[in-house]
Structures are given as structure tokens and as C-alpha cells.
Structure 1
Amino acid sequence: MSNPPRKIVVIGGSAAGPKAASKARRLDEHASITLIQKEADLSMASCGYPYYVGGVFDDRNQLICTPAGIVRDPVFFDKAKRIDALTRTEAIAIDRAAKTVACKHLPTGEIRTIPYDKLVIATGASPLYPQVPGNTLDGIQTLHKIGDADALRTLRDQGQVRRAVVVGGGLIGFEVCEALHLAGIHTTVIEKTASILPFLDPDLAKLIEVYVRGNGADIITDNGVAAFLGENGQLTGVKLDNGTELPCDLAVVAVGVRPNVGLAREAGLAIGELGGIEVNEYMQTSDSDVYAAGDCVECKSLITGAKVRAPYGDLANLQGRVIGQNLIEEGSARFPGVTHTGICKIFDYTVGFTGMSTQSAHAAGFTDIETATVSGLDIPPYMQGKLMISKMLADRKTGRVLGFQSIGPGDVSKRVATVATAIRGQLTIDDLANADLPYAPPYSLALDHVIVAAHVLENKLLGRVRGVSAAEVKQRVDKGADCFLLDTRTPQEFEDMRLGIGETLVPVGALRDRLGELPEDKDKEIIIYCHSALRGYEAAAMLEARGWRNVKIMEGGIVAWPYPREK
């Protein structure tokens, strides 16, 4: 006599839920699988919302269809996967003792109870919303659901919005900024903290800030929204913490998300200190028959071992796949944790990161760290290479790679992926410095950008070079510090553009013959720079070999200088 089919219920139809259900079906053709989804749509590609709003593509169905162009609706799930997908249906209660889920069909109000052997909670997260006066005015939106994308796309197509503000200077905020800018809407990003893109160190974030302003958008930092202003129920502007009032027709709020854990909490499942559902490496909750995944859970940092929240679509899919396998083959799949890797497009720049920033490393207790900032092309200049500026972070004692940030129009994605894998494998700077990466001129330099970053960081760890950031140089200049600034570029480069900070030009090729122009005091601080720091490194080696003892290089060179320049 055969066993009755497994009864699997999945709550949540965005990313993790459908992935878990689909994986379970592939492993068990006979299981009874029910998918409960509050929204009308299923398996939405939410990371594509800004590009739909911005007009990169026009067919909304591309957000909810398979690579073959088939819309993932209940009929698709029934015919292709034999999954009973209940849309516009809200799970309202979990009875763990009876092993049932009560759900409500929203159009009719009909309530039904569905039994389960195994349950998956993938309830996602909800956008945070400023609790300030005027926050119920028409014209204030988020970009969290596909309905939000529909509404913003309609506003774009109608062309009636002239000025917009984006509240929040993170990933989503800048993706929305670009989408609105593409629609011809003047946009201002408002960030409450002192620096945009909080996963970047401030020096790289400052470069993005300058770049965004150069593309016609405004950025206000260190200032939050104190109130939304309006007339007759319609948004007309925002008031900032410092009292400034900005007129606008539209405000898009992108200040983060809060895990949707109400259903799990009411069912008595353990909730972590960060507000997400607690799960183990098998994605099981405190009830071994109940799994959870996606934006509603907490997971583990592979760098520190601490609990973290990581609301990213790719991780939701990975976690859903692990659950789907464990639903059928319990304990056979693990989700070990995350390195916090992300990427976004801001106009023609890519912004990518993996692992820890300097600030987060210090906060996590890594007190002895070293960083290296490098700039260079992704491929050779004769192949029309594009610029990247990157920062690599390592633990001084072990040499272990802790983080990497990269920005620019070059192929940032490839480099971030390389370092993300290195962090996952707990590799050291020495490992990366000798990495066997693919090389051909259409794809890379002979020494890839990541390897160059590792070489610079290795030199710093070994004491062969001392670096100083552009921000530190600016601070020295502003304070009138007694230092000698040496520009080692060519005269033509100097004529085309200079920093205008009292620098002395001595091209690196002429330096050995012009040492008399340098300070006689061999202990005087000398800061050297060039376009990207390579010539600066060579010049520093020359000077140190001739007895100068306080020579430093401005890391990243002039391209990493986020302040005004002279032309």
C-alpha cells in the first residue's frame, strides 16, 4: 500500500515561495502543493520594476513571465507544475497543532482551511514609511509591489510630473532616481545620513554623489523629511529637517523594509532580535515542519557569524531552492549564510559591493584592517576600456579578504563576483594576488583589476607603500598642513586638468634629474599622485630609495578625487 501524497502549503508567491514549490515538485511528482498569494500576480521580477518604470521595456508581462514568454499565472502553475496557486488569497492564521492554514479569498471573503504536512512561510517584507505629517497625501508612493510599478509607469507615460523627490539614498532610491530622470522628471534624492549608499565607504559614495549631480539630479544628505506638504489632499512638496521646503509633484519613499512576521509570530514561531523569523541552516523555523525564506527571515553572515537581514531577490531564490529540496529530502540541503553582495546601475555607472565596508568591519570588531583604493580600466585602452574605481579590505593579521567595493562605467559586476567568491572561500590577499583569472584583451587586462587591487593591498600589508585617501589629502590642504604635494603626470595632463591645491609638477620620467626641487628635509611629508596612482607608486619607490622617510601615495589618483578641479 503506497503512502498518501505529501501535503505542502506555501505562503507567499513572489520569489522564495514559488521557487520552493517548484523545486519540491521536481523532486516529488505526486505531492499535493498549494501556493497562497495575497497579490493578483505571481513570481514577480521585483528587481525589474525600476527599469519598467523608466521605460527600458514596455511590456509589463515581462515582469511575470518565464524566459519562454509564458505568463506565470495560476493556469501556468497548474498546467506546467501541478501546483494549486491561489491568488488574491490571504493566509490569516496558522494552527501548528492541527497543521492547517486558514486563508481568505479577498474578492469574496470566503474562508477555507488547508491542511499541511510541511509549511513554507515566504511572506516577504513591507516598505518602511516616514511617520511624519502629511504622509497620507496623494502623490506619495513606494516601489515595492508590481502595482506600485504600474502606478509610477502610468505617471511617467502621462508626462504630468515635473519634479519628484526620492526619500532614501540606497540601492532602490537611486534606481528610482534614474528611472524618473529617464522620464524627464527633475529628481532630488534625500538621504537622512551623511552619506548616500551606506554599503559604500564615504570616499566612494562621494564620487557617486558627484557623478549623479553631473547627470542633472540633485542630492541632499544629512537631512531627513520632516513633513510632506500638500493642498486639497495632493502632495505639493516636502519640508526637510532643516526647514527647507522643496516643491514636488511626486515623492517615492525608499527607506528600507520591515519583515512581515505577524503570521509567524501569532503562530508562536521564534522571531530574532533583528525582527526576522529565526531559521537554521536548513531554513527550518523553531517548528521543524515549518520552513521560512526570503525577506521575512534572518540569516547568518559568513564573515562574522552574526545574524543579519539580507532582503535580496537572488538570496530568496537560493533559500527557496534549499527549502524545496528539504521538503522532500529532509536535511539534504543547507543555506550556510550570506556575504552581502549587491549591485545596481546608476546612469552609466555600476555600483557593486561584497562583504564588509570599513565602517561595518569596525562595527563588527575588526579593529586591525587595511584597505587599498585603486583605479584603472576593465580592458586595455585600445579595446575602449572603461574606468573602475575600487576599494578592497582585508584583515591585517590573517590577510583574509573582508570586502570589496567597485564603481564606474567599467565591468564592475565581474570583479565583484570574483571577490564575492573569494570571501565565500575565505581566501587571503595572497590567494587573490596570484589568482588564475581569464585573460584576453576583449575581457581583461593582463593583470585583472581585482589582482591589481590585491597587489596594492599586499604591498601595504608588507609595508612597501603607505597610502592616503583623497579625503585625507583634502583635509590636510584645508587645514594648511605642512606637506609637499607632488604631481607626477605629464605637462600636458597637468595643463588639461589639475587639482589646484598647491601641487608641484615633476613628471615621473624626470624625477631622478629634478630631486633638487623636493624638500631638503627628508622627514617632511610628501604626498604623490598621478592619474591612477601607478606612477605615484614608482615615484615613491624612487624617493624612499634616496632617503625620504615620509612618502605617501594618494590612492586611486586624480580619478578618485571627488572635489572641484581646475581646467
Structure 2
Amino acid sequence: MSDHQRILIVGGVAGGASCAARCRRLSETAEIIMFDRGPHVSFANCGLPYYVGDVIKDEEHLLVATPEMFRQRFNIDVRLRSEVVRIDRERQLVEVNDLEQGAIYTEHYDALVLSPGARAIRPDMPGIQLPGIFSVRTIPDSRRIRQWIDQYEAREAVVVGGGYIGMEMVENLHKRGLAVTVVEKQPQVMPLLDPEMAAPIHESLIGQKVGLRLNEGVERFDPGEGHRLALTLASGGRLETDLVIMCIGVRPNIDLARAADLAIGESGGIQVDPHMRSSDPCIWAVGDAVEVRDVVTGATAVVPLAGPANRQGRIAADVIMGRQHGFRGVQGTSVVGVLGQVAAFTGASEKTLKRLGMWEQMEKIYLHPGHHAGYYPGAVPISLKLIFTKKGGRIVGAQAVGQAGVEKRIDVIAMAIQMHATVFDLEESELCYAPQFGSAKDPINMAGMIAANVLRGDASLAHWEDLEQSDALILDVRDVEEYNQDHLDDALHVPLDELRARMDALPRDREIRTYCFVGQRSYYAARALSQHGFTVKNISGGFKTYLMHESAKYL
């Protein structure tokens, strides 16, 4: 394209704003105009829950860039309160509604970039428009929530939806002293996680007196006394509260694209090629409104994450300016903090792989190492689940939960997935070590070693959910004190340090499955037994993983 082209960008925030700035860095002569129907062009929407929680105290700190900065630093014309209402593809024009003046005007484009984002889902149910029911998508949304809490001296809140935003709202409302109840249709919060990996989050919520109404939905809202609201649940139960935060997800904002007859993907997002170009060669689309490819499973989906949106905006700018650049896809790397717990995720989950019919090709391991060296004060465990292919050990996904060091490990695994690395690469990873930061054998190394042992045949694994289909002897190799505190009912107890002396009492005509608390001592036991001719498998993750599975099962 010509260096003197006219580039129009619809929507700011992550995708649109990054595209505009990148276009300017690549061309001093292009004319760049960015439209946004809201009062802000670039703000940190991921920070909104923390503004509600008064962690971020000044609203201005949420503003990443202002129209004045775009004009002065980048010579970009930003028009707020300006809604693009129609695209004339044949004439390459857009119609713009000036919401302040109430006037419609047109602008010509050589390249048009759509970054309209997504809308919070507000289901059509009785009472949904009542005062005191909020979503969290914009700065004005969070401002209204703060004002409502202050005005009515709110003491109770209901959060509908237990995903990322829901959990962040729970944490921040809790910090402000409100009693919070979560209503979630799924049997767990954080539905992206596998059920057992969400169990520590449930325990933390319950431990801090957050109400959990799982497998539950809202049927209707009714006015309560004064400003309060009454919720009727699908089970017939009722809740009364001072305010409700709706966090049941978002839908891509594709009205403009659909009206312009641009291709829409099966997942509901604007269809784009790897260069972020839509079905019209002069129109690009980026951010929460586009359909993207999952690099692990190959499935297409709408993934509303700020990181991919920023990269997509940059790629669209490169292509508009004549550079060859493509978007690799997403793997859903994400993290959330919930009342002292941190949960992080990358790649594919077990339940996703099962839904797609891909699980037979996979194996998984669990481990629970300390986040730094155990001899240094303050070490806390990380519960880590790693999924990899049985053939070759390519890393497919990982989930981790703990109080510290969680996101650091998932970040490493996320890059490993991006580079098509295997568990053998994790085994050999060279990572920072000082006792206050990690261990000589980092949890990443340990995950690689455990998985590599499985693939090399040095360890045979079993999993807790498979026990009912097996008549194997369950062997608990923990110390007496641990065994007496809690154990599997039918387990035979032989402490590891006594195992060699008592091997003759174990059956050689029956499979043995070993467990300890986190899986290390039972691995030692399994190695010793296998070398003495026993048929043995180690139960991955030990008794701690069993407790996570049981917690998930009975919530």
C-alpha cells in the first residue's frame, strides 16, 4: 500500500490502540484516525476489579493513553464518543455517529481496522435491568459500582459467574469488607481449569467465608427492601443482597462486521486470516471480536485476552504497511489471583482434550514441589499438572495453583509449548536459582524429570480416578504418623524405610500401586519394587492429588 494511505481504526483499548501506534512508527505520512464510542481510547480494563476494590485508588491510573497523547506523540487523530455505524465496502467509506453532536458524517479509508471488542453477556431474564445489577467492562462501569457501594454502605454482594473476572471481583469486594456469594452454573469456579485443579481455589474461598452456589443459576431478579435485590435461583432458593455483579462471560461485538457482510466464524467471531485480514482485503480485525486458532488443538474460538489483542494489532499494522507478518494463534495463557491463591493455565486442559477426542494420545503427571528451596524460610507448595503426548513427550498444557511462584512456572511452560518443546527439554531447562527464588531442581525441571521417567519406561504411572477399575494392591509408603492421620481405606501400609525388609510379604502375582503424600517417596518405592520383580505403578501426585480429586467430586 501507499505510504500516504488513510487508515481508520474502529475501537481502541488493546488491539486498536496498539495498531494505531505501530502504524505511526512504520509511517510518518499515513493519516491515522481512531474512533471510539466510549469516553476513553486506551484504558487498562484488566485493572477494573482492582479499582472497585480500592487497590487502584485513582481512576486516572487506569488510563494507558489519552487522545492528547496520541495526538502529540504520534500525530494520531482520536475521536471519542464517535460510533462507526456503517461500512460501505464498495466505496470504502464508514458512517460515523458523533454522539456528542448527534450528527452523522462519512470518512474514506484505504485500510480499515475493526477492534470493537466484546460485550458483557446480560441474559434476557426478569429484572435484569434493575438498579444495582452491574457488569465490569469499562471505567464508567467500575465507577458506578464504587459509587453504589459507598452510597448504600453495601455489606453483601452476589457475583454471578466464577471465571476470571468473577474471581477478581470476589477478591476485591471481599477486600472492601463485603460478604460475597458466588453463583456459578458449572460444578466448579474457574471452568477453564480441570476440576481437581480448581479444588484449592474452592477451599480458599470457603475458608474465607465466601459463599459458593455451584451447579446453580439465576432465574430472576426482584426488588428487595430499599435498594436491595432479591435473586430467585434455578433450584428455587433465594438470595438477598446489596448489589449483583454479572460475570458470565462476553460476546464478540460483531454487529458492524455482520451488517457489512464480512465472514463470521463458527465460534461467533469475525473470521480473519493469519495476517488479521477479514474476508474483505481492505478490512482487518483484531482483539476480542475475532475468531482465532488454538495452536495446541487446532480448534477455532474467541479468546478475549489482552496479550493476543495487542499482538494482533501490531501484526495488522505491519501487514497494512507492507510487511509480512502472521499471527501464530493462541494457547490461552492466563493467571488469576483469588484471596491468597494464584491459579495459572496454558495450553489444553484434560477436559478439553477429552471433548475433542484427543485424550488417548496424552499422558499427565501431578507434582507438588515448594516454590523455592525448602530449607529457606517461607517455602509454599505449588500444585502443578502437566499434560504431554505419549509419543515424543511434546508439551500440550499445564495448570498450576499455589500461593507463590505459580505464574513464573506457567510462563516457562507457555514458552515451551510455543517452541514445540518436549518434557525432555523441561528436564534440561537451565533456570535461575538462589534459595529464596527456586531450587537447584526447579519445579519445571522436576516436572520434566517425572514425565521423562514415564516416557523412558523408568516409571509406570497410575491415576486416582482409575482405581475403581483395578484390583491392584494399594501400598501406602508414608510414615506412621502420616498414615494414622488419614489414608485410603483399603491401603496396605509399609513405610518406605521398612520396604526392603518387608518385600517378601507383598504379592508377586498382583499389581501394586504405590502412593505417598506428593509422589516422590512412592516413586522410590516403585523403582525398588520393580527391580525386585514386582509389577508396580506409582500413583501420580500422591495423596495430596487424591484429596484434590475428592474435593472436586463432592463439592
Q: TM-score higher than 0.5 here?
A: yes
Provide the C-alpha distance between the structure 1 equivalents of 2:111 and 2:242, rounded to a whole number of angstroms. 48
Q: 1:521 to 1:556 in 2, by over 3 A?
A: closer
After superposition, residues 143-292 of structure 1 pair within 5 angstroms as 143-158=136-151, 160-231=153-224, 235-292=228-285
Deviation at 1:28, TM superposition (A): 1.1
- Between 1:437-446 and 1:347-356, the stretch displaced more is 437-446
Paired amino acid for 2:443: H
- Is the 8 Å Cα contact of residues 405 and 416 (structure 1) preserved in structure 2? yes
Paired amino acid for 2:313: G
Provide the C-alpha distance between the structure 1 equivalents of 2:138 and 2:100, rounded to a whole number of angstroms. 19
Q: 1:365 to 1:482 in 2, by over 3 A?
A: closer
Provide the C-alpha distance between the structure 2 equivalents of 1:502 and 1:156, rounded to a whole number of angstroms. 53
- Is the 8 Å Cα contact of residues 156 and 180 (structure 1) preserved in structure 2? no
Residue in structure 2 matched with residue 364 of structure 1 by the alignment: 356
Q: Secondary structure at the match of 1:439?
A: coil
Q: Secondary structure at the match of 1:561?
A: helix
- Between 1:460-469 and 1:89-98, the stretch displaced more is 460-469
Provide the C-alpha distance between the structure 1 equivalents of 2:226 and 2:155, rounded to a whole number of angstroms. 18
Q: 1:551 to 1:38 in 2, by over 3 A?
A: same
- Is the 8 Å Cα contact of residues 295 and 331 (structure 2) preserved in structure 1? yes
Tell me the TM-score normalised to structure 1 length: 0.91
Deviations 1:304-329 (A, max 9, x none): 3332211101111111111122222x
Residue in structure 2 matched with residue 69 of structure 1 by the alignment: none
- Is the 8 Å Cα contact of residues 252 and 302 (structure 2) preserved in structure 1? no
Paired amino acid for 1:439: Y
Segments of structure 1 that go 5 or more residues without pairing to the other structure are 66-71
Deviation at 1:405, TM superposition (A): 0.6
Deviation at 1:216, TM superposition (A): 1.8
- Is the 8 Å Cα contact of residues 297 and 348 (structure 2) preserved in structure 1? no
Paired amino acid for 2:33: T
Deviation at 1:528, TM superposition (A): 3.1
1:490 aligns with 2:490: no
Q: 1:277 to 1:237 in 2, by over 3 A?
A: same
Residue in structure 1 matched with residue 103 of structure 2 by the alignment: 110
Residue in structure 2 matched with residue 530 of structure 1 by the alignment: 516
Q: 1:157 to 1:57 in 2, by over 3 A?
A: farther
Q: Secondary structure at the match of 1:273?
A: coil
Q: Secondary structure at the match of 2:248?
A: coil
1:317 aligns with 2:316: no
Provide the C-alpha distance between the structure 1 equivalents of 2:533 and 2:152, rounded to a whole number of angstroms. 66
Provide the C-alpha distance between the structure 1 equivalents of 2:465 and 2:165, rounded to a whole number of angstroms. 27
Q: Secondary structure at the match of 2:95?
A: strand
Provide the C-alpha distance between the structure 2 equivalents of 1:464 and 1:110, rounded to a whole number of angstroms. 73
Flag as ranges the 4+ runs of structure 1 deviating above 6 A: none
Deviation at 1:57, TM superposition (A): 2.0
Residue in structure 1 matched with residue 397 of structure 2 by the alignment: 403
Provide the C-alpha distance between the structure 2 equivalents of 1:189 and 1:281, rounded to a whole number of angstroms. 39
Provide the C-alpha distance between the structure 2 equivalents of 1:237 and 1:455, rounded to a whole number of angstroms. 53
Residue in structure 1 matched with residue 541 of structure 2 by the alignment: 555
- Is the 8 Å Cα contact of residues 91 and 101 (structure 1) preserved in structure 2? yes
Deviation at 1:292, TM superposition (A): 0.6
Provide the C-alpha distance between the structure 2 equivalents of 1:449 and 1:145, rounded to a whole number of angstroms. 38
Deviations 1:341-373 (A, max 9, x none): 111111111111111001111223313210001
Paired amino acid for 1:489: R
Provide the C-alpha distance between the structure 1 equivalents of 2:427 and 2:420, rounded to a whole number of angstroms. 14
Q: 1:332 to 1:364 in 2, by over 3 A?
A: same
Residue in structure 1 matched with residue 345 of structure 2 by the alignment: 353
Residue in structure 2 matched with residue 24 of structure 1 by the alignment: 23
- Is the 8 Å Cα contact of residues 470 and 555 (structure 1) preserved in structure 2? no
Provide the C-alpha distance between the structure 2 equivalents of 1:53 and 1:132, rounded to a whole number of angstroms. 26
Deviation at 1:393, TM superposition (A): 0.6
Segments of structure 2 that go 5 or more residues without pairing to the other structure are none
1:51 aligns with 2:50: yes
- Between 1:262-271 and 1:461-470, the stretch displaced more is 461-470
- Is the 8 Å Cα contact of residues 487 and 530 (structure 1) preserved in structure 2? yes
Provide the C-alpha distance between the structure 2 equivalents of 1:494 and 1:304, rounded to a whole number of angstroms. 41
Deviations 1:524-549 (A, max 9, x none): 55443333211111122223334442
Deviations 1:254-299 (A, max 9, x none): 1111111111111121111111111111111111111110000011
- Between 1:79-88 and 1:159-168, the stretch displaced more is 159-168
1:120 aligns with 2:106: no
Residue in structure 1 matched with residue 62 of structure 2 by the alignment: 63
CA RMSD of aligned residues (A): 2.4
- Is the 8 Å Cα contact of residues 282 and 331 (structure 1) preserved in structure 2? no
Residue in structure 2 matched with residue 336 of structure 1 by the alignment: 328
Paired amino acid for 1:422: A
1:390 aligns with 2:376: no
- Between 1:357-366 and 1:483-492, the stretch displaced more is 483-492
Tell me the TM-score normalised to structure 2 length: 0.92
- Between 1:408-417 and 1:209-218, the stretch displaced more is 209-218
Provide the C-alpha distance between the structure 2 equivalents of 1:215 and 1:550, rounded to a whole number of angstroms. 41
1:432 aligns with 2:418: no
- Is the 8 Å Cα contact of residues 224 and 230 (structure 2) preserved in structure 1? no
Deviation at 1:157, TM superposition (A): 4.1
- Is the 8 Å Cα contact of residues 15 and 43 (structure 1) preserved in structure 2? yes
Q: Secondary structure at the match of 1:361?
A: helix
Q: Secondary structure at the match of 2:119?
A: strand
Q: Secondary structure at the match of 2:346?
A: strand
- Between 1:505-514 and 1:336-345, the stretch displaced more is 505-514
Q: 1:174 to 1:560 in 2, by over 3 A?
A: farther
Residue in structure 2 matched with residue 68 of structure 1 by the alignment: none
